[in-house]
Structure 1
Amino acid sequence: MGKTILIKKAFSSDIQYKLKDGAGSDAIHTTPIYAYAVCKLATDMNIEGTGLAFTLGTGNNLVCQAIDYLVKHIEGREINELMSNFGQVAKTMADDPNFRWLGPHKGIVQLALASVTNACFDLWAKANEVPLWKLLIDLPPKTIVDTLDLSYLEDVMTAAEAVSILQEAASTKNERNSILGTGYRGYDTSIGWFNYSDDKVADNIKKALDRGFTAMKLKVGSENPKRDVRRAQLVRGTAGDKAIIMLDANQQWNLPKAIEVCSELKSIDPYWIEEPTHPDDIAAHVTLAEKIAPLKLALGEHVPNRIIFKNYLQSGAMHFNQVDAVRVGGVSEFIAISLMSKKFGIPVVPHVGDMGQIHQHLVLFNHIAIGHEAIFLEYIPHLKEYFKYPVQIAEGYYKVPQQPGMSTDLKNY
């Protein structure tokens, strides 16, 4: 057990950042404002916990209001005691009778739960004076599972089975520790935002290659599919045959259009097509996966909870799991979904609404402690200057963070 730290008061902050020159734009979100609904935990020591949920500006204050309501469940608790049975705490917060009607387990309330939960994990790691990845990797399997709410998952994964998955991976953990020396490979999302000109995309690709990136992503979903095909061919031609290229439609297409455009985009041999249609339409993804095979689907950025992830994993239509710890109910639910994904044999490649700050820890845990394949992690640089300890990239690889906590501390807040 680490330092004894009492959570005296918890509160929210509405923090918003305007992006410049088309950065962050996609087929649906054309003028985004990157925003964090922050949960801060003030304690009886000179240590704070900081949690994040990600939004696109308008409505961020509503998430903050929900945070300020939910924190009543954790105020006055000692952090190590709180985390010893956090799965039950998370369930109590998620099922708060005054808020559950607004979801359940999705939307504003779920984002607030993410921020509160992430603040607790950050403080827990700081209390133990280690980075989050090390805290999680060193915890016994039973202790990890006690932080999870596995309700509604029992038909596919019980607590005993979750412990078993972690125990089995622990027997070969040392074989995967080498990643702590190399770092975790990244891929560059910022080369191909939707509103970027073709010339800017081409220039960004060359810069990304010079920085050591061998994988990158282009935003598609144009009103005229010919634009998508032309730009995809531009990326392939500029990056070269050996580059890994992903395409992201951000839910723009209905099913017939997705089948049509994905069939045309096959020509550039994309690694995946991301969010091709509405995230709630599991049946459409099943049909699309069948129609465009062997082209693979990646999704999860807008899937809000473990139950819908369970259904996607059961459907066979999810080839890459993009669960995001600032979109679902925080680190706790992320781990539950990651364990379930391991059982189904589906790799986890997170979406990084946190700009990779938290997920650089979680992918190390996924690989070392769960046994997931280390593929790569999305890299978006636009908010680096606002973090006290921003992610560090060298030759296309995330450097392993060393500061205690989950790297969520923001400057001037």
Structure 2
Amino acid sequence: MHPSIVIREVVSQDKRYVLPPGAGSDAVHTAPTYGYAVCVLRTDRSEEGVGLAFTLGTGNPLVCEAIRHLAGKLVGQEIHALMAGFGRIFRTLADDAAYRWLGPHKGVVHLALAAITNACFDLWAKAHQVPLWKLLNDLSPEALLDAIDISYLEDVLPRAEALGILTQRDATRKDAEQILRTGYRGYDTSVGWFEYSDGQIRDNVRRAMDAGFTAMKLKVGSKDAGRDIRRAMLVREVAGDTATIMLDANQQWSLPDAIRICSALQPMNPYWIEEPTHPDDVQAHRTLADAIAPLRIALGEHVPNRVLFKNYLQTGAMSFNQADAVRVGGVAEYIAISLLSRKFNIPMVPHVGDMGQIHQHLVLFNHIRVGHEALFLEYIPHLRDHFVHPARVTGGFYQVPQEPGLSAALR
């Protein structure tokens, strides 16, 4: 038996971090401030639950206010009892009568739900005195499903089928656990931020390769497509033919432009094109996927909830699922999306608004427990000094975290 831990107080925190010049920039955000709206669950013991939602700074007060409103319902709850039926609690919070009109299930309110949910999972893992990846891998299939909400997914993923995915995997997962010895491969996004000069990109690519990275990403989406093509060819030239190179357009192209520019980028052999057009336009992505095949599309950073992920998966518009646990409704919704993606045989390669802190746990769960292929996890080092237990990447591989919780606590 694990000791009782009761939530006594909810605190929201506005955390913002100014980045070095050019760092974090993309075709939309040329000088971003990275930020987190933080939910802290204080308890009657020494343990605290800490959860993050990723923002770009100035929106933090709105999310923090929503955290305070929604999470008030958790005060007085004992964490083990809460998480035994957290799927129902998640649904109740997502459908809060006062705030649901502002979504539903997207925007400020859903980001607040992400921070709250992540804090609950953090506290749950700490109550078990294990890292999140181990908790998720050790729960029974029934207990895991009771902690998530699969409403609106039942037409393609009924509970019995989700249970079957987990039960079948539990019988065959031994080989997958080898990854706990090797670590999880990373890819370096910080080589090619949008505002970096060509010279910086060259130096960064060489530095990444020297550090053991064999995969990296370049930001594209310029008003001048020629700039994108030239810089993509530059990365390929410096990294060589065997390197894995991804291109990220941050939703900047119309469908006709996406077809034209992606076709022009084909010769440099990108592993994927990320977020090529508007994130709500499922049909445009389906049309684009057909037009540029065999070039593949990655998306999910700006897809806000499991229902839209279901639509993308149903249409075959994505080749890589980039759901982010600090952008959708936290770990609970991420797990639902992971199971859904497994049903459609689309690999999970999450976007890391958390800088890989929480997702280093979730990719181990994806691979060991759900059966997703272990591809790689995005690595962005800019905020690592602000975390109590920063993700450790050695030789291009995430090392397996050992501390209890989900690694979200900030200094």
TM-score, normalised via structure 1 length = 0.99
* CA distance in structure 2 between the partners assigned to 1:19 and 1:192 by the alignment: 15
- Where 2:204 maps in the other structure, the secondary structure is helix
* CA contact 1:11–1:71 (8 Å) conserved in 2: no
- After TM superposition, the runs of 4+ consecutive aligned structure 1 residues lying more than 3 A away are none
* 1:74 shift after superposition: 1.2
* CA distance in structure 2 between the partners assigned to 1:74 and 1:202 by the alignment: 50
Counterpart AA for 1:353: G
* CA distance in structure 2 between the partners assigned to 1:46 and 1:73 by the alignment: 21
* CA contact 1:15–1:37 (8 Å) conserved in 2: yes
* CA distance in structure 2 between the partners assigned to 1:201 and 1:75 by the alignment: 49
Count of paired positions:
411
* CA distance in structure 2 between the partners assigned to 1:81 and 1:298 by the alignment: 38
Partner of 1:410: 410
Partner of 1:186: 186
* 1:72 shift after superposition: 1.7
Partner of 1:249: 249
Q: CA RMSD in A?
A: 0.6
Partner of 1:359: 359
Is structure 2 residue 140 aligned with structure 1 residue 136?
Answer: no
> Could you list the runs of 5+ residues in structure 2 that have no partner in the other structure?
none
* 1:2 shift after superposition: 2.7
* 1:73 shift after superposition: 2.1
* CA contact 2:21–2:31 (8 Å) conserved in 1: no
- Where 1:14 maps in the other structure, the secondary structure is strand
* 1:4 shift after superposition: 1.2
* CA contact 2:189–2:378 (8 Å) conserved in 1: yes
Deviations 1:338-359 (A, max 9, x none): 0000000000000000000000
Counterpart AA for 1:257: D
Deviations 1:133-173 (A, max 9, x none): 00000000000000111111110011111111100110111
* CA contact 2:11–2:40 (8 Å) conserved in 1: yes
* CA distance in structure 2 between the partners assigned to 1:203 and 1:73 by the alignment: 51
Partner of 2:160: 160
* CA distance in structure 2 between the partners assigned to 1:93 and 1:117 by the alignment: 10
- Where 1:177 maps in the other structure, the secondary structure is helix
* CA distance in structure 1 between the partners assigned to 2:126 and 2:114 by the alignment: 18
Q: How does 1:324-343 map to 2 (within 5 A)?
A: 324-343=324-343
Partner of 2:377: 377
* CA contact 1:73–1:89 (8 Å) conserved in 2: no
- Where 2:17 maps in the other structure, the secondary structure is strand
Deviations 1:295-327 (A, max 9, x none): 000000000000000000001011000000000
* CA distance in structure 2 between the partners assigned to 1:401 and 1:258 by the alignment: 39
Partner of 2:239: 239
Is structure 2 residue 71 aligned with structure 1 residue 65?
Answer: no
Counterpart AA for 1:363: V
Counterpart AA for 1:330: G
* 1:59 shift after superposition: 1.1
* CA distance in structure 2 between the partners assigned to 1:117 and 1:77 by the alignment: 14
* 1:3 shift after superposition: 2.6
Is structure 2 residue 161 aligned with structure 1 residue 150?
Answer: no
Identity over aligned pairs, percent: 64
Partner of 1:201: 201
- Where 1:70 maps in the other structure, the secondary structure is helix
* CA distance in structure 1 between the partners assigned to 2:353 and 2:113 by the alignment: 15
* CA contact 2:113–2:329 (8 Å) conserved in 1: yes
* 1:29 shift after superposition: 1.3
* CA contact 1:275–1:298 (8 Å) conserved in 2: yes
Partner of 2:2: 2
* CA contact 1:2–1:129 (8 Å) conserved in 2: no
